[in-house]
Structure 1
Amino acid sequence: MRVFGYISEQESRHSGSGTPFLPGYNFHERHESGPIFAPADAILDAVAAYDMRSDPLSHAFMTLRELPGKLFPSTKTSREPQPAFGLHTFTPLERGPDTLSYGLTGRFWRTDMGIIPLRDVGEFTAFQQPGVARLVLHFQLVAEGEAWRLRTETFIGCPDKATRLKLLPYWLLIRTASGMIRRRTLSAIRHQLSGR
């Protein structure tokens, strides 16, 4: 049973939705665009090149999220200037003919998000550390007549109960803003490519 995007890991293993980059997941959200009249490659190129901060509302949400880390750094390293958060922060995992996947590893509930940079899909899938969550951001094109719908799914897997309990209040707090950023991203890409 899913409640506000939370799903038990056992149920996630038997659900119709999943990702090959996580053995199971505890948090999930899905959004989908309207029809996009453009070639599949052009849509995926637009996703890869999209700057979420180009949207004023998304930029405001992300700036607000970064503010606690700047005001109250949780570690010595977080006192150093950090690049603005965006898709470039993620680890590229895979690009197929109609899919694009990125990964992110960290302690997302911390003021500085506790991001652990990983170079590639091999490092991401092999990473296992208690207290650290892994997130997969997956884009998929779904055919609809002469058009495509662009679907985005977010999966977060936690390695232990303590991590799930730390992530749960953070997830409930940011889920609305996160969903809005995803929807605005999909809308912007659709408008950019098909003008609709």
Structure 2
Amino acid sequence: MTILGWVSEKDRHHSLCHTSYLPATHFYEKHQSAPIYAAPHAIITAVADYDMRNDRVANALMTVRELPGKALRLGRPPANPQPEFGLHTFTLLQRQDHQISFGLAGRFWQPDMGIISLQDAADFERLQGQGVARLVLHFHLLPEGEAWRLCTETFIGCPDTRTRLKLLPYWLLIRAASGLIRRRTLAAIRRQVSAPVMRGR
């Protein structure tokens, strides 16, 4: 079992909360939608195209998260201006008919999150540097009668104990907001793609 999203040594040993993109998972969360009456391709396409910044609550939470980094840059323009944080910040790792995965790497506890630019899945898998955490955001579909449930799992792996200890307080601080954003994302995608006559189910 996980305690506040911290994956125990026992769970890691038995390969629970596992993704093939990380040698081990140290932090984990999972959420799923209500039934969605739509074709799998339409649901996965909606995930790939989703902009979290269009949700007012998610946008507000992410704006607050970006404030420390902006405060550090106050009075001096960044050398490499970055767009607002969102799903486009992630690197596409894989996409199939019933699932899609994204990767993100950085020092997330830092004011600017320390995001490392990655080109593709190979870049993500090669990155093994100490002090850098890697995150996999995985969406997959679970059949339920004539409908589907969209499930999202977040996996974070750390290369060493020092990185895990740095990430732990940050994870505990942002976990509630992260979970809220995930749930709102699932609900928004459900509203977007559900057949009109089925939305009330």
Provide the C-alpha distance between the structure 1 equivalents of 2:118 and 2:6, rounded to a whole number of angstroms. 25
Find the residue that maps to 2:153 and give its secondary structure: strand
Kindly indicate whether residue 79 of structure 2 is the aligned counterpart of residue 42 of structure 1: no
Match of 1:21 in 2: 21
Q: How many residues align?
A: 195
Superposed, which structure 2 residues align to 1:147-158 within 5 Å? 147-158=147-158
Q: Give the letter for the 1:138 counterpart.
A: H
Provide the C-alpha distance between the structure 2 equivalents of 1:47 and 1:9, rounded to a whole number of angstroms. 32
Kindly indicate whether residue 176 of structure 2 is the aligned counterpart of residue 188 of structure 1: no
Kindly indicate whether residue 31 of structure 2 is the aligned counterpart of residue 61 of structure 1: no
Provide the C-alpha distance between the structure 2 equivalents of 1:124 and 1:19, rounded to a whole number of angstroms. 13
TM superposition shift of 1:64? 0.3
Match of 1:126 in 2: 126
Give yes or no for contact 2:100–2:140 (8 Å, CA) kept in 1: yes
Cα gap change, 1:79/1:72 in structure 2, threshold over 3 Å: closer, same or farther?
Answer: farther
Find the residue that maps to 1:186 and give its secondary structure: helix
Cα gap change, 1:153/1:55 in structure 2, threshold over 3 Å: closer, same or farther?
Answer: same
Mean alpha-carbon deviation: is it higher for 164-173 or for 186-195? 186-195
Kindly indicate whether residue 179 of structure 2 is the aligned counterpart of residue 179 of structure 1: yes
TM superposition shift of 1:81? 3.0
Structure 2: stretches of 5+ with no match in the other structure: none
Cα gap change, 1:165/1:102 in structure 2, threshold over 3 Å: closer, same or farther?
Answer: same
Kindly indicate whether residue 135 of structure 2 is the aligned counterpart of residue 135 of structure 1: yes
Q: Give the letter for the 1:71 counterpart.
A: A
Give yes or no for contact 2:141–2:148 (8 Å, CA) kept in 1: yes
Give yes or no for contact 2:17–2:155 (8 Å, CA) kept in 1: no
TM superposition shift of 1:72? 1.9
Provide the C-alpha distance between the structure 2 equivalents of 1:5 and 1:82, rounded to a whole number of angstroms. 29
Kindly indicate whether residue 80 of structure 2 is the aligned counterpart of residue 98 of structure 1: no
Provide the C-alpha distance between the structure 2 equivalents of 1:41 and 1:169, rounded to a whole number of angstroms. 38
Structure 1: stretches of 5+ with no match in the other structure: none
**Percent identity between the aligned chains?**
60
TM superposition shift of 1:8? 3.2
TM superposition shift of 1:131? 0.4
TM superposition shift of 1:16? 3.6
Structure 1 segments of 4 or more deviating over 6 A? Answer: none
Provide the C-alpha distance between the structure 2 equivalents of 1:9 and 1:123, rounded to a whole number of angstroms. 27
TM-score between both structures, scaled by the size of structure 1: 0.94
TM-score between both structures, scaled by the size of structure 2: 0.92
Give yes or no for contact 1:105–1:135 (8 Å, CA) kept in 2: yes
Give yes or no for contact 2:94–2:121 (8 Å, CA) kept in 1: yes
Mean alpha-carbon deviation: is it higher for 109-118 or for 78-87? 78-87
TM superposition shift of 1:96? 1.3
Cα gap change, 1:164/1:16 in structure 2, threshold over 3 Å: closer, same or farther?
Answer: closer
Provide the C-alpha distance between the structure 1 equivalents of 2:145 and 2:94, rounded to a whole number of angstroms. 26
Give yes or no for contact 2:131–2:163 (8 Å, CA) kept in 1: yes
